[in-house]
Structure 1
């Protein structure tokens, strides 16, 4: 089977986004193309992602990032922080598709932040910024603590750990959404104590499938209606070494 070109795959992206209620403009398609080119080029000298084939990027990065729109209303202005963003997922696809969002991309590796700054500039994106720092430090910084309507993360970590990283950054009345693999129920149950301690008042798991594929995704959606106690997050390294349980 001949590998599809990036232009063919971007046409697939546009078509499948319609299934998500997203109508991409020519400019947005151009931005997704620039993003792809920047990522593939940088990946030659830096380990950003193991996924570089055009169709896989469209399905496993772009559409996967955007799938959350089925489970949260992104039709209004809101502040979003993408914790542990890595190569920019899901934050940059969300910003391209919903340009009115105010997005912050957070990562602990400065080389990734520099790459993301280059992508933002190349795509001509505004209303998006980056921050270099560990989640534990950002969660104690008043410039970031409880400042966001929505915190999202595709980072690979235990849900209890992710909750300690992310819930301190969510405003009262806001949401934390963790992108997880299909089988999440046991991990979700084990994280209930952490979610409650950190100010989460309601949580649920929503399952979905990426349009045009058999690829499954689960979203853990946590409502925060109470302030996170001042002792959280714990010092750097602790949430990962000793998750709340």
Structure 2
């Protein structure tokens, strides 16, 4: 039996989105409801998310993903890369909310891509593109290398690793919105060498409160200032084993 969002959950989602200063339609709420049902259903068959409490799916997945749009310059890009999307975060909630943009969701696991194919079909998100690849391989593919003006990621990885995954895919002048927790200053310090190597600077920093939670997420916006050396990305597995 499918698990649908209760009226209380729908109210929490609607009010949370408005608290983030965005409008939402009934059609979009229905898309979130369909997404919620698929998450709950598929998570029983495969490990898509460790978060299974209904309220936390709304707050820690849906609202948290939408909060990426609070980053300065977010709406300047028409195509957005979601690196390491997993079960579709933040890309699917952002695509639901902002249909004028087109999201490219990249993930290395085939089973997650299969799930996302089902989500896209069920929600009618035909503009979404899926890319099944490791970041290290994508960064050496000429169809993707230095092709994106904006990338987002909620992937759990140290900043030097994330930068090696993402920056080779950005055009010069492109931006990477990275969502980080309370240790963001330490992480930035640790990423100083990687930032120089990948020719990126911090363009903006914004802290966002996630409605109905005590979560404070810091959106670090990196801007690429020069072309990436062809040394990068290194071979699959090396960035995480030997971060810069």
TM-score, scaled relative to structure 1: 0.93
Inter-CA distance 140–67: structure 2 relative to 1 (3 Å threshold): same
CA distance, structure 1, for counterparts of residue 233 and residue 77 of structure 2: 27
**Aligned match of 1:206:** 206
Inter-CA distance 217–20: structure 2 relative to 1 (3 Å threshold): same
**Aligned match of 2:80:** 80
CA distance, structure 2, for counterparts of residue 188 and residue 75 of structure 1: 24
Moved more, 47-56 or 70-79: 70-79
1:166 and 2:166 aligned: yes
Inter-CA distance 51–76: structure 2 relative to 1 (3 Å threshold): same
**Aligned match of 2:54:** 54
**Aligned match of 2:133:** 133
1:30 and 2:30 aligned: yes
CA distance, structure 1, for counterparts of residue 85 and residue 135 of structure 2: 11
Q: How many residues align?
A: 241
Residue 77 of structure 2 contacts residue 149 of structure 2 at CA under 8 Å; is this kept in 1?
no
Residue 172 of structure 1 contacts residue 227 of structure 1 at CA under 8 Å; is this kept in 2?
yes
- Deviation, 1:77, is 5.1
Moved more, 52-61 or 29-38: 52-61
- Deviation, 1:75, is 3.8
**Aligned match of 1:145:** 145
Q: Which runs of 5+ in 1 are unaligned?
A: none
1:44 and 2:44 aligned: yes
Inter-CA distance 222–77: structure 2 relative to 1 (3 Å threshold): closer
**Aligned match of 2:124:** 124
**Aligned match of 2:65:** 65
Q: Which runs of 5+ in 2 are unaligned?
A: none
Residue 151 of structure 1 contacts residue 176 of structure 1 at CA under 8 Å; is this kept in 2?
yes
Residue 74 of structure 1 contacts residue 98 of structure 1 at CA under 8 Å; is this kept in 2?
no
Residue 183 of structure 1 contacts residue 218 of structure 1 at CA under 8 Å; is this kept in 2?
no
1:220 counterpart SS class: strand
- Deviation, 1:54, is 1.9
- Deviation, 1:76, is 5.0
TM-score, scaled relative to structure 2: 0.94
CA distance, structure 2, for counterparts of residue 114 and residue 88 of structure 1: 11
Moved more, 4-13 or 36-45: 4-13
RMSD: 1.6
CA distance, structure 1, for counterparts of residue 5 and residue 148 of structure 2: 38
**Aligned match of 1:177:** 177
- Deviation, 1:169, is 0.8
